Amino acid sequence: MARSLGEIVARFGGELKGDGAQEVCGLATLETAGAQQLSFLANPKYRVQLGSTKAGAVILSAEMAEFCPVTAIVTPQPYLYFARLSQWLSSVPAQARGAHASAVVESPVPLSVSIGAHCRVGSDVEIGEDSVLYPGVTVYPGCRIGRRAIIHAGAVIGSDGFGFAKDGETWVKIAQIGRVIIGDDVEIGANTTIDRGALEDTVIEDGVKLDNQIQIGHNVRIGKNTALAGCVGIAGSAKVGAGCTAGGGAIILGHLTLADNVHVSAGTLVTKSITVPGSYTGTVPFMPHEGWQKNFARLRHLDAMADKIRALEKRLAELEKKA
């Protein structure tokens, strides 16, 4: 569906440098956009692409406007503008509201909620207005999901936490009687799993964004607006603050506490609580395999290397005294 730039600016703001009657019918990158498409320049390092763009118009900042060869929408935060616009212009069909006939829904849900094919919503579940569950989502009994949730296919909410007591050599299951409580505006990726609490609840606060294949253990609390990338694992009873991020595959061990605004790099294993906001990393550089074999074997002897350095320092000091 075509939209005029004038209509876009009227709705989303920004300063239009060009003809308000000009129409666009979708979004594309600077490199691929045609005359019917709107593009954006958020990162100044892509300015070179601006010169040659075939886009009908470009969303950009005031600093970049002078370099724009086509119609411009000028706004202080082009990426944010683009994000808002992307939802309005999206060409992907929205899943219908209501529960698909094949879904098994054992709790009443608001009419504005969309429940996809083969979803399972257990008893005593509450789901807030305007939420979307894509196909094959499972919500175990007793869980709470806020408003405007987006839950992707195959996600599992409320499976049992991993809790056992040892009885000699065997394990005795601890019934997991807590729930999962999810705030408003939370997005949960495909095949992500969130375990119910053991005694207390697992809590995902408002505005949290979880990518695909994330595992959240029992009793975990994830603070407001925290965003976790794919394959992250948060072990049981960890408390992650608000405004945190974690890169792909990061693991946070159990019972730890992360302050607000902590950023964990991809692939990092967090083994201690973090009380100071900031970025934290614990990964090793990769190398061509042969160099790595020679080099990383040294890791087993790091302690010995440190001892050798200390011994050298001592011997050298003695020689220096004599000289």
Question: Is 48 a residue that touches a second copy (CB under 8 A)?
Answer: no
The interface region with a second copy, picked from 1-9, 11-19, 68-76, 294-302 by CB under 8 A, is 294-302
Find the binding residues for a second copy in span 98-127 (CB under 8 A). 100, 102, 104, 116-118, 120, 123-124
User: Please, what is the minimum distance in Å from the beta carbon of residue 323 to a second copy?
Assistant: 6
Token output for 235: 């072990």
Q: Active site includes 263? A: no
Instruction: For the segment 206-265, give every residue that binds a second copy (CB under 8 A).
Output: 207, 209, 211-213, 215, 217, 224-225, 227, 229-231, 233, 235, 242-243, 247-249, 251, 253, 263-265
Give the C-alpha distances (Å, rounded to integers) separating 296 from 68, 81, 242, 285.
50, 47, 37, 10
Stretch that binds a second copy, among 48-56, 57-65, 72-80, 107-115 (CB under 8 A): 72-80
| Of residues 20-39, those binding a second copy (CB under 8 A) | 26-29, 32
Cβ burial 204-239 (10 Å sphere, 16+ → b, else e) = bbbbbbbbbbbbbbbbbbbbbbbbbbbbbbbbbbbb
Sheet holding 209-210, edge to edge: 98-99, 114-115, 132-133, 150-151, 187-188, 209-210, 227-228, 245-246, 262-264
Taking residues 191 to 210 in sequence order and writing x for each that binds a second copy by CB under 8 A, - otherwise, the string is x-x-xx--xx------x-x-
Q: Is 154 in the site for a second copy (CB under 8 A)?
A: yes
- For position 150 contacting a second copy by CB under 8 A, the verdict is yes
Residue 73 C-beta: closest distance to a second copy, Å: 15
Euclidean distance between CA atoms 99 and 135, whole angstroms: 10
Rounded CA-CA distance 95/316 in Å is: 75
Q: Which residue type does 110 have?
A: P
Give the active site residues.
218
